[in-house]
Structure 1
Amino acid sequence: MIPQNNPLANYIGLSAEIDQAVKRVLESGWYILGDEISSFEREFAGFLGAKFVVGVANGTEAICLALKACGIKAGDKVITVSHTAVATVAAIEMIGAVPVLAEIDPGTYTMDPSSLRPLITEDTRAIVPVHLYGHPADLGPILKMAEENGLFVIEDCAQSNGAAIHDRKTGTWGHAAAFSFYPTKNLGCLGDGGAVATGDPQIYQRLIAARQYGWDRERISRTEGLNSRLDEIQAAILRIKLRRLDENNRKRAQIAERYSESLRTLPISLPTTVSGRSHVYHQYVIRFSGRSLRDRLIESLKADSIQSAVHYPVPVHLQPFFSDRFGAVALRITEEVCETILSLPMFPELTPSEIDRVCARIHQFFKEAQ
């Protein structure tokens, strides 16, 4: 079986170091907000080129806390996309804000800046662009429009850890940025974890308080907060994995290059990288002319013990829990993309022979489909 993602392979390759780090934490007797989390926050900030990082419980709460730290409150409107993990929209609703959905670019699958202006009203307070699949969103015009309208920009970097725009990493462009360390992410822990990065000292102080009941240094609640802490064991694991992130992202790019070289003659759309932006290939996503062809290939791959996935099969605005709230929102490109995309196996430990086997199966599928 070739899995679509394989966090176990990543652990096996680092098991001696990870086991030692976990043992170190267990024997320290300090399991919450200790030396490991403070060291990780410092090291991750250095990796990003950010002034501040605050570790939190998961990526969803990272978005939630980033919004709250920027002063977004119940009833405020926040623009994001429907083609994303549902967590992006769920986090906006967690604080009582109102998500407003923008269209995506058909080439990068990230927020289309040209769709934003009609969505901005007097109640709009923030924009949350998602750097989907590891490719940065087009932040230049998004930031410009935000500045013109007095809006906050919170980057959703759950899938773009290490990606950059003109050599400046995602997560350092907006007022704040949310990261997920879910096990399958480019930088993933062995459980749940997340972080918020910011360059603003006031936002940083609000985040420090908000992740722990709104406490001040004397553990007195001065502001609204919740319990959202990245624990010491996960921080210790992330410190080990962070040192390999650039290397693993290079491996992902090499895998993507091997896929693209083999598949470029087929009637499918392959991932592209916009000039000036770097892609870290959290996913390698191909696109078909129609859903039927995509679904048949999924079955063909499965018959050869090759897993694939659709990220994401149903846009948020069409999912039953959300559909009533978004009504007849027109997102034609989003809906077409969700019907026709497919994520191939992608993880740093994927071998050349496994990549070639996936490609051979796809070539054979198209040969038989003629």
Structure 2
Amino acid sequence: MRKIISILLAFTFIICMSSGCKSKKEDTSSSKNPQASEKDASEDPNSGTPESEPPYYSEILAKDGNLLGRIDGRASASAADEGVFYSIFVPAEYQATATAQYHLFRESDGKDILLGTLEEQGYETIYSRVEMDGIVYTLALTGNPNDEEPDSLWLLSFDLKNEKMEKVLVSENASPYAAMTAANGKVLILVHEFGSPKCDKVLEFDSSSGTLQEILSFPSDGENTESLRGVYTDAEHLYLLRLTVKSGNPDELYLDTYDTAYTKTSERSLRELIFSEEYHGVASPYDEKAEIGMIVSGFAVWEDRYLYYENFAVTRALLDLQTGKNLFAADDNYSLSRGSGMPFFYYFDLGQAEPDQDVQGIYELKNGAVEKKTLTPPDTRTMIRSISVSPNETWLVTYSDSAPRDAGTDALVIWRES
């Protein structure tokens, strides 16, 4: 299911970028910021009225296997310094939008807190959530991403200590594909805006002042254009993945580096380095071109040297930009960790694993080489579904025991390394 959704999202984005869909405008005004309240976690996200029970639950376990609590089994969860941050987004049949709920399961006391809701949500960039200074940020689209009407992109922020939610309008005519990164009190947002001309932008949100400003812009000129595929920042650099497109076809992928004043200092072609190793399902130059053009689900640059890359199709790579080596080349049975700290890859689609496959495999960078280590599953649920790490090194690993997964079988194991 995850692969199908990813392919559909990527296909929709490529079609829209080439055809200029969603060109209409409508009046969009921001509503009052939802305030946090502690409510029953079983509230129906579609109607806003309580239902007696969610259809199924997921367990939250400590590393030793002790049960800490349960949350709605439909949750999309990630690690947070305070525990488990998660959203529930379940449109009714034949509907593309619903009222999404955003929750915190607080590890210290086991309370499930409703932080806020977003009405008419059509999509959330779950892969791009970030946490900074105790605040979780995510991007969400309101409106039907599949129709021809313009949709609004929102920056949602969740103060976990004070249990409140705020939102800032990012764009009134945006693609559902967006990305985000954060450092030094600044949140940087990559947004694809429809209109005439179509334009890719990087915006800066200052968390101290609450202001949002455009810092970089890449408008389309028709046949020849540049399209952004990823954004990442650390304390000293801003990195962009930039795709050049000629006559509607992907051409080359570049890594652009900027300083803290957002002045470009270098660019580097990546296509040859990425495909210096083989990938399952990528057998020809045509396949390579298609992969290069795909939208990106994971991107990071570590120590200004190691580049982590994951797209919505089949390519995962860890590149050493200094030596020009591809240290890790894998297909979509692997995924990139989310959150803070040094990224790593892990084996994901274990229902298709070979008998000798290390089903708890984590592949991380150590002294310039990739090493494999294992995690100990909580019980018979050994299939890793997702891994995220928060700024204070809280780990959250989602396990299940079946492929395809059965509803209500997930275990979310949480622990703190530091």
The answer, yes or no, to whether TM exceeds 0.5 is no
Greater RCO, CA 8 A, separation 6+: 1
More strand by share: 2
